[in-house]
Amino acid sequence: MREIFRVAAVLAGFTVLDGRAAAQSVPRCSAYSLGIDGTTVTARFCVPGGPPAATVTVSEIFSAHGLSFTKLLGLATIPGQRTTHAIDDIDLAPLAVARTLHVTLAYREGRVTLEHALALPGAIPVK
Per-residue pLDDT of 99-122, as tens digits, reads 999 999 999 988 999 999 999 999
Name the least confident of 23-32, 64-73, 77-86: 23-32
Predicted TM-score (pTM) of the model is: 0.77
In this predicted structure, what is the pLDDT of residue 43?
98
**How many domains does the structure of the chain reveal?**
1
* pLDDT digits 0-9 by tens, 5-54: 444 444 444 444 444 444 456 789 999 999 999 999 999 999 998 777 88
Position 74 confidence tier, pLDDT thresholds 50, 70, 90: very high
Q: Which residue has the higher pLDDT, 91 or 81?
A: 91
Q: Which domain holds residue 56?
A: 27-125
SS3 of 28-63: the string is EEEEEEEEECCEEEEEEEEECCCCCCCEEEEEEEEE
Residue 82 included in any domain: yes
Residue 103 included in any domain: yes
